[in-house]
Structure 1
């Protein structure tokens, strides 16, 4: 089954972006390549029970198993030893990416308390959009009763273009809730 946003991209967004950006070839139109979700452990890095619960929560949110990121070397100022877990990450591609993006835009972000929109200036030099979410419980897949501590996560949307304006135009077509100019 093809994701809803993927079929909308192919049928509506792709032709609209081709006309509005003035590109000749369909392959020059910006597209989503991957979405990376990071979740740090913080002070709970040594507790295996906490690591397993965060791993199941992130697996439920993303729809695939996360990878445990470990420290490469010991740094005494940060109280880390070599090869201890520091966080979790998931890289979503193809259909999983579109399913997650649909849930993020239409279900999770509107559930944030006092949500005003996302910062439209959070693009990096490669035109990838990154933002943070302070509460992972905004996703309906997370059972709120079993959560011991509310944790944040970083989400990065990687696009095929290096132009920030083209990348923003693509995300606008996907109805990303950016803050409008002049809004308080």
Structure 2
């Protein structure tokens, strides 16, 4: 599995993310030397066949797949303390290995001193290899570290084959140093699939090992 390493750079505390494979930096590897994410291979070698058997698909193109993962952190207090937003950006980059984009307020709310287009959060959209790397770490490392974890709800599908989960603490991810956290931030994680139904999406994520609550 690839490892993302954060390195402190610059006066603003921004971090440069470097992916390392077996001690070698990504840019120093030949394309043939870069290993495929474990869960991408697992999808090709196991998940496709399992879903074809379950839903009787006629061809591989009908089999649903994970299209992208979006992660959003809202930082309402950034209105009064912009440093909190920068901390959230740095942490989300450490967690995902991808530089987030800043999200802005769509409307003004005078009671909260919020103006339209004011920065209030950050988000990333993960695709391809980096998406599978994050999925692997979320399933096998981060989610078991959720406080009082008893499994993820299977009620959070949107009716169109997509699944969302709210995380209360970013410190479940091992990339985050608890001693350096400015404040505890939650985040919303959305798993977007090509499945046409929630049943198919549930089966897809379950085959990946998604830790859904076990039914009695």
- Normalised by the length of structure 1, the TM-score is 0.95
Deviation at 1:44, TM superposition (A): 2.7
C-alpha contact 2:79 2:114 (8 A) present in aligned 1: no
Deviations 1:24-79 (Å, cap 9, x if unpaired)? Answer: 01010010000000100022334222221111100000110001001133222443
- Cα distance in 2 for partners of 1:45, 1:2 equals 41
- Cα distance in 1 for partners of 2:79, 2:206 equals 37
- SS of alignment partner, residue 54 of structure 1: helix
- Cα distance in 2 for partners of 1:69, 1:46 equals 16
Is 1:114 the counterpart of 2:148 in the alignment? Answer: yes
C-alpha contact 1:46 1:85 (8 A) present in aligned 2: no
Deviations 1:126-147 (Å, cap 9, x if unpaired)? Answer: 1100010100011011111110
- SS of alignment partner, residue 91 of structure 1: strand
Unaligned runs of 5+ in 1: none
Residue from 140, 148, 155 that aligns with 2:182: 148
Correspondence for 2:119: 85
Correspondence for 2:54: 20
How many residues align? The count is 182
Deviation at 1:98, TM superposition (A): 0.2
- Cα distance in 1 for partners of 2:79, 2:93 equals 18
Correspondence for 2:64: 30
Question: Which one has the bigger strand percentage?
Answer: 2
C-alpha contact 2:48 2:63 (8 A) present in aligned 1: yes
- Normalised by the length of structure 2, the TM-score is 0.81
Correspondence for 1:128: 162
Unaligned runs of 5+ in 2: 1-34
Deviation at 1:167, TM superposition (A): 0.4
Correspondence for 1:4: 38
C-alpha contact 1:68 1:86 (8 A) present in aligned 2: yes
C-alpha contact 1:46 1:84 (8 A) present in aligned 2: no
- SS of alignment partner, residue 191 of structure 2: strand
- SS of alignment partner, residue 179 of structure 2: helix
C-alpha contact 2:79 2:113 (8 A) present in aligned 1: no
